[in-house]
Amino acid sequence: MKKLLILFLLCSATATFAQQASTQTYQFAIVGKVKIGSIITMDSLNSYPLKTIGNIKVTDHTGAFKHQDDQLKGVLLKDILNHSQWVLTPHLFSSMYFTCVGADGYKVVYSWNELFNTEIGDNVYIILEKNGIKADKLPSSIQMVSMLDYKTGRRYLHNLEKIEVSIAE
């Protein structure tokens, strides 16, 4: 009986760990302060201009090297967001921010000014190819990166699930 209980506990623990693995995404939603929410699919991402991004050294919050990703290609986040119609008037844009949420709950935040009024916005990408592999074939399919960040891993998001458009209160 004890052996059966131990076997059950081991199988349960394995199943629990497997459930914690992040869900691979093939689309994401744009929701919140938009006139009409939208779903961005892998097919629709391919309709945007593809840019060669280059290589990136991914670091943690202390700046310690974690790994390198090579041959990145992607589309600008602001190009995708430009197709959304905001509920807000232009004088409120400086209060607008975007919370990008991964399937595992990890969140990355960008302000409207950061994306549309600084050089950073020209360097925040949805990755469509990494290390010569197309995004839909990667274990973490829809990924985002901010190429100008000093600690690149902080806003390197895997399995993007949604972008919430909000206004600072």
User: For residue 17, is it within any domain?
Assistant: no
User: For residue 134, is it within any domain?
Assistant: yes
User: For residue 81, is it within any domain?
Assistant: yes
User: For residue 16, is it within any domain?
Assistant: no
User: For residue 54, is it within any domain?
Assistant: yes
User: For residue 131, is it within any domain?
Assistant: yes
Three-state SS annotation for the chain: CHHHHHHHHHHHHHHHHHHCCCCCCCEEEEEECECCCEEEEHHHHCCCCCEEEEEEEEECCCCCEEEEEEEEEEEEHHHHHCCCCECCCHHHHHHEEEEEEECCCCEEEEEHHHHHCCHHHHHEEEEEEECCEEHHHCCCCCEEEECCCCCHHHHCECCEEEEEEEECC
User: For residue 13, is it within any domain?
Assistant: no
Q: What is the CATH number of the domain that holds 70?
A: 3.90.420.10
For residues 21 and 29, is the Cβ–Cβ distance under 8 A?
Answer: no
Tell me which residue range forms the domain holding 139.
22-167
Q: How confident is the model at residue 116, as a pLDDT?
A: 97
pLDDT digit string (tens) for the chain, length 169 residues: 444 333 333 444 433 333 345 688 999 999 999 999 999 999 999 999 999 999 999 999 999 999 999 999 999 999 999 999 999 889 999 999 999 999 999 999 999 999 999 999 999 999 999 999 898 888 888 999 999 999 999 999 999 999 999 999 8
User: For residue 10, is it within any domain?
Assistant: no
Query: Per the structure, how many domains does the chain have?
Result: 1
- In DSSP terms, 166 is beta-bridged to 97
